[in-house]
Structure 1
């Protein structure tokens, strides 16, 4: 195997190992979070910055298309008026691997004043974010996948996978169907296929 292919294989294996460890030790907090999200009358709002922000955008999209209305607010923009998008009946999921990122902590006091439920998605269960939020989604990885153990890789992938798992779990518990999916996703080849399916 060439050095290039070996490096690619090693990186993928590091991420797989991180996901396997999370999958083998899913904490009871996950069930509590799903129960909370299933009961809300508002929307699920994801908030993050940097790589965590990109993950938040994708998860908001996945939640919305699988039957749980959601959207994304950039943590920094929230401090300049976007907090007005948040209402009391919503739930805000704040994503930060360290749980100490200043931009993600800054909106918390205002979100509390609004009266919105908060959930921390973080790799550090002892962080400021975890302690200040109402609920916790622990997503801890021991190492990143890059050779320097610095770039958000394993940690961001883990947040994405856990978020997808929560979205799909909620979708199943709500009885979300192919017909429902077709209504929310009428475009592209997937939408065309679903809308032409006479069995839904």
Structure 2
């Protein structure tokens, strides 16, 4: 078993090699890269991404990134392509073929078939002298000096370069399409990511009670209202106008400073100009305001009208944090 120092050195060496490989891609962002972006933008079809072995796994990730950022894409395994899956390719589709060597048997068989069908063939490859390079209409060069594997065999640095090139392509397409957060939310409606992008403050406030009390209410009534609604606060309202808010912290501070509370009213306890947020704002903004102001709840309004309240716990339960 290697020493702790040796393990750390190997890990650092691996990361350095892979980071250098990514930086070396900068010199390969050229005219062909721009043509690939323009071709995909103009295409009426989909992007078919294919590969064999580890390149096939990277191809699947690139497809997932394309689909989630507005570029319709399908994964096609190179080995399956020649056994029937070529039927998934339609006339207007563009094909991106990933291969380090560009000379594997499956790729050498597949490339001419793709050319015969008339689809634009893009080679993301690590050898400009390969069979795939000769067949491809455009090339995304992901050449690396060596793999991180000490035997220079296991695809490591080369697949990292492919992954990074795929990300660069996806982000360029995203920006050219002016793909925004609303679009992203449509493609990611599930899970905490989706909620951060589409969940509105009003959706959360609607699930809670609307604790409110008159300015003349006694301390006892204030405590009962706060306890009953389990939001840690109550809004003071008169003539449907928000006057202020009383939190459980205000109650504690009042009890620390007063022994006689019989004549104290809600108006005496409330904090004026409470932090508030419109019901149509994103819940993510509510979280930012809560953090910024070091509070645990926000008043939710529609215009100047009291709509409800949202608590830090609501954001926790929805996975916004």
The TM-score range, normalised by the shorter chain, is: over 0.9
Among 54, 68, 73, which residue is 1:70 paired with?
Answer: 73
Counterpart residue number, 1:171: 174
Counterpart residue number, 1:135: 138
Q: Deviations over 1:90-131 (max 9, x none)?
A: 000001011111112212232223221110000111211011
Matched residue of 1:152: which SS?
A: coil
Counterpart residue number, 1:97: 100
Matched residue of 2:103: which SS?
A: coil
Distance in 2, matches of 1:85 and 1:46, equals 12
Shift of 1:25: 4.8
Does the aligned pair in 2 maintain the 1:47–1:92 contact within 8 Å? yes
Counterpart residue number, 2:151: 148
Structure showing the higher strand proportion among its residues: 2
Q: Which has the higher contact order (CA 8 A, sep 6+)?
A: 1
In the alignment, structure 1 residue 158 sits paired with structure 2 residue 161: yes
Q: Deviations over 1:37-84 (max 9, x none)?
A: 111110001000100000000000101100100010000111111100
Distance in 1, matches of 2:97 and 2:28, equals 22
CA-based RMSD of the aligned residues comes to 1.5
Among 44, 49, 52, which residue is 2:47 paired with?
Answer: 44
In the alignment, structure 1 residue 22 sits paired with structure 2 residue 28: no
In the alignment, structure 1 residue 59 sits paired with structure 2 residue 62: yes
Distance in 1, matches of 2:174 and 2:54, equals 25
In the alignment, structure 1 residue 186 sits paired with structure 2 residue 186: no
Q: Considering only CA atoms, is the larger Rg found in Structure 1 or Structure 2? A: 2
Matched residue of 2:7: which SS?
A: helix
The count of corresponding residues between Structure 1 and Structure 2 is: 200
Q: Deviations over 1:120-171 (max 9, x none)?
A: 0001112110111111111111111111121111110000001000001001
Matched residue of 1:157: which SS?
A: helix
- The aligned runs of 1:109-124 (5 Å cut-off) are 109-124=112-127
Distance in 2, matches of 1:27 and 1:122, equals 15
Runs of 4+ residues over 3 Å off in structure 1: none
Does the aligned pair in 2 maintain the 1:98–1:124 contact within 8 Å? yes
Q: Structure 1: state its 5+ residue gaps.
A: none
- The normalised TM-score by structure 2 is 0.60
Distance in 1, matches of 2:51 and 2:172, equals 22
Distance in 2, matches of 1:174 and 1:11, equals 36
Counterpart residue number, 1:196: 199
Does the aligned pair in 2 maintain the 1:47–1:104 contact within 8 Å? no
Does the aligned pair in 2 maintain the 1:87–1:114 contact within 8 Å? no
In the alignment, structure 1 residue 107 sits paired with structure 2 residue 123: no
Does the aligned pair in 2 maintain the 1:120–1:129 contact within 8 Å? yes
